[in-house]
Amino acid sequence: MTKKTTNKGALANDFFYPPFSTLDARSGWWQDRKRKWLNLGIESELGRVKTFESLGSIYDIKKQHIKKSKHGKQDPSWATTSIFDPVLCEILYKWFAPEGGHILDPFAGGSVRGLVASYLGYRYTGFDIRQEQIDANVRQARTLLKKDHISPVWKNVDACSKSLYKSFKSDVDLIFTCPPYGDLEVYSDHPTDISNMPFDTFAGALKHSIKQASARLKDNRFAIYVVSDIRDRNGEYRGLPDIVRHAGKEAGLKVYSELVLLNALGTLPLRARGYFEHSRKIGRAHQNIVLFVKGDPVKANADIGAIPCKDPF
């Protein structure tokens, strides 16, 4: 049982969480806060499947049961499911979105990011190419949210296609998303699902998505991409965070900060032994969070204003 703690200190009192470049999801305070969110009844795994090795990071894996089809590929019907960390959402929304602002999530996946936004009083629009995922998210929202909440909106949109402009013309106050990590997690067999694509095609589609989403971001606002590097079949890193950084710059954004999320270790100590003994591969225990700004960060800070104190519990 995790010892109950409080997030003490002047920085935490003023900014909800100390504004350092490391975010510690292993701490007692973080784990206590996470339980409060999940105890609301959030089941972001509904509508999702997980078909590849867990990163053991911003996700809580409830099961680990991967079965290969007769063609040697992961079979989604036997996949595990994952939950995005609601505490990470809460911290970054409070830091980088103006009170009551509109959040755009081009790769929405499960319900967590939308539900946390609603509980905290933000507007939220998330895109997903799978209607079954959207339906599951909407059912969650109807079950958990109260009448005074701003309901999150999920749209059946391919964030990597030109249809983004046709279906969504609002200007938003924050981009916050977690794109697929190549084919590390294969979410569906949808023909335009970028998690199914060869890496070069995936990288090009992701760059296009970042460009389009950036065009919907207001001036003097922030964009946040939660990413992690992935390895090719030879064990070499592909440079996914670099791809995101360069794509943002090409879209007119500035790389303003980088944060590191220290993940709860879970089963990593067990897996790391095998990795290291076999090939000296280091067990990855963090995620990268790339923070962009569009325009002037000083003006963005003034527009965002004070850190909101709204507590959903």
**Which backbone phi and psi does 179 adopt, to 5 degrees?**
-70, 165
pLDDT band at 181 (very low <50, low <70, confident <90, very high): confident
Whether 209 maps to a domain, the answer reads yes
Whether 80 maps to a domain, the answer reads no
CA distance linking residue 99 with residue 25, whole number of Å: 25
Whether pLDDT at 77 is above 60: no
Whether 49 maps to a domain, the answer reads no
Q: 222 Cβ partners below 8 Å, 6+ apart?
A: 96, 97, 174, 175, 256, 291, 292, 293, 294, 300
- What CATH number does residue 193 fall under? 3.40.50.150
CA distance linking residue 54 with residue 306, whole number of Å: 37
Average pLDDT over residues 54-68: 38
Whether 254 maps to a domain, the answer reads yes
Res 201: pLDDT: 87
CA distance linking residue 301 with residue 313, whole number of Å: 27
Whether 59 maps to a domain, the answer reads no
Whether 248 maps to a domain, the answer reads yes
Lowest-confidence region among 8-17, 110-119, 123-132, 241-250: 8-17
Whether pLDDT at 50 is above 50: no
Whether 50 maps to a domain, the answer reads no
Res 33: pLDDT: 96
Nearest to 30 by CA among 280, 261, 283: 261
Whether 122 maps to a domain, the answer reads yes
Res 167: pLDDT: 66
Q: Is 172 helix (H, G, I), strand (E, B) or coil?
A: strand
Round the average pLDDT of the chain to a whole number and report it: 84
Res 177: pLDDT: 97
Lowest-confidence region among 38-42, 162-166, 290-294: 162-166
Res 78: pLDDT: 32
CA distance linking residue 203 with residue 225, whole number of Å: 14
Res 133: pLDDT: 92
Kindly tell me the number of DSSP H helices and DSSP E strands found in the chain. Answer: 10, 8
Q: What is the domain range of residue 127?
A: 10-42+85-304
Are 257 and 291 in contact by the 8 Å Cβ rule? The answer is yes
Q: Is 74 helix (H, G, I), strand (E, B) or coil?
A: strand
**C-alpha count within 13 angstroms, C-beta hemisphere, residue 220:** 10
Q: What is the total count of domains within the chain? A: 1
pTM: 0.85
Nearest to 213 by CA among 181, 269, 175, 183: 175
**Which backbone phi and psi does 246 adopt, to 5 degrees?**
-65, -40
Whether pLDDT at 294 is above 90: yes
CA distance linking residue 215 with residue 172, whole number of Å: 10
